[in-house]
């Protein structure tokens, strides 16, 4: 059994960034100044499957657009941290980790850019990234998806975890 396979089998919790992970990183700006992002439906389906199977999902993002929050709420994600309020993602992650009581060995974190670096450099958690992540993030990742951000990277890691535990094809 290789390290990645072994680590996938230990995961009970997923932590995701938004821009560049759940979306392709593009921000579309309307004439009104309103921003919108595009989410990949298959990533959303995998998130719903994971939640139904009892996995915990957390999102930590620097953005704070209400449309994104609505999408996350529609997916039934409860642990949502939007806008840093001056805190780093590491500070937010450590507070969430303490409050949740989850063992870091059971967490898969997926990020794509430098704001995720401090969290992803932690050696206890399982750090993953999309194929199009920046070089620094790729260098600290335990697993690099063959999918780009917003194009199936989230589904890739969820599906790998659930397949490792023979849960992906279970329908109830």
Closest CA to 11 of 55, 44, 76: 55
Would the annotation count 17 as a binding residue?
yes
> In which element (H, E) is residue 10 found?
helix 3-10
Pairing of strands 56-61, 13-16: parallel
Which residues are CB-neighbours of 169 under 8 A, at least 6 positions away?
none
Would the annotation count 19 as a binding residue?
yes
Would the annotation count 99 as a binding residue?
no
Binding-site annotation, residues for Mg(2+)? 17, 112
Binding-site positions for substrate: 19
Indicate the annotated binding residues. Answer: 17, 19, 112
């Amino acid at each position: 059994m290789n390290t990645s396979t072994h680590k996938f089998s230990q995961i009970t919790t997923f932590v995701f960034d938004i821009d560049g992970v759940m979306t392709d990183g593009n921000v579309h700006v309307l004439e009104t100044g309103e921003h919108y992002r595009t989410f990949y439906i298959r990533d959303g389906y995998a998130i719903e499957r994971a939640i139904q199977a009892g996995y915990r999902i957390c999102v930590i993002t620097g953005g704070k657009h209400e449309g994104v929050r609505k999408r996350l709420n529609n997916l039934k994600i409860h642990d949502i941290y939007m806008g840093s309020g001056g805190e780093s993602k590491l500070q937010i992650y450590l507070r969430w980790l303490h409050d949740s009581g989850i063992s870091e060995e059971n967490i898969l974190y997926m990020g794509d850019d430098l704001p995720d670096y401090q969290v992803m450099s932690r050696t206890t958690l399982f750090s993953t990234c999309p194929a199009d992540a920046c070089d620094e993030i790729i260098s600290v990742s335990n697993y690099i998806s063959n999918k780009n951000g917003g194009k199936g990277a989230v589904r890739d890691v969820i599906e790998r975890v659930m397949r490792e535990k023979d849960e992906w094809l279970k329908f109830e």
